Chains A and B, each alone.
Chain A
Amino acid sequence: DADVTQTPRNRITKTGKRIMLECSQTKGHDRMYWYRQDPGLGLRLIYYSFDVKDINKGEISDGYSVSRQAQAKFSLSLESAIPNQTALYFCATSVGDLTGELFFGEGSRLTVL
């Protein structure tokens, strides 16, 4: 089993629908992240959390919200999806020290029609 698991792996939805992408990890890391990947733009940070009580906005947080339910779980929500949120979404984890090596989930491909 993967150390960082994302569900769903693929989702097609319609404009205006609420969508939740879930991430769980078994690595025991404190830090969790949500990134978005668009063709030619690399990965851009949406939200990050350094522990259960800590939530921070990233570069492109507008239109998204997150919930850190436990050390191992970090969910990303789109309250009212729009077509330009069509992208590949990655959850990632890292340890809470200076090494900061990042480990990614397998990605969730979201299409908003």
Chain B
Amino acid sequence: QQPVQSPQAVILREGEDAVINCSSSKALYSVHWYRQKHGEAPVFLMILLKGGEQKGHEKISASFNEKKQQSSLYLTASQLSYSGTYFCGTEGGTSGTYKYIFGTGTRLKVLA
């Protein structure tokens, strides 16, 4: 079953923060985050593995709670370039099943 992301959409002003959540009904081995601009392919942001540490990339970081089967993406001091649709990608099972599916998506719009 497809992981559910929340919120579905969010509008921010430059400099504001946002949190995007990804929740799965199945056990997760890893969670990956991507951003997709309109008309383009998704672009990889970061990976979180079961038992791994919280990851960070500049002002974008993420966490993974394997017990709750949830991951959150944190965007701080948002920039115009952060606009796009964010997807979590998940691979289930205890050691990965290779069936790689994406969450429902969160549309993020950053305004000047």
A binds B: no
Q: Could you tell me which B residues sit within 8 Å of A by CB distance? A: none
Residues on A lying within 8 angstroms of B by beta carbon are: none
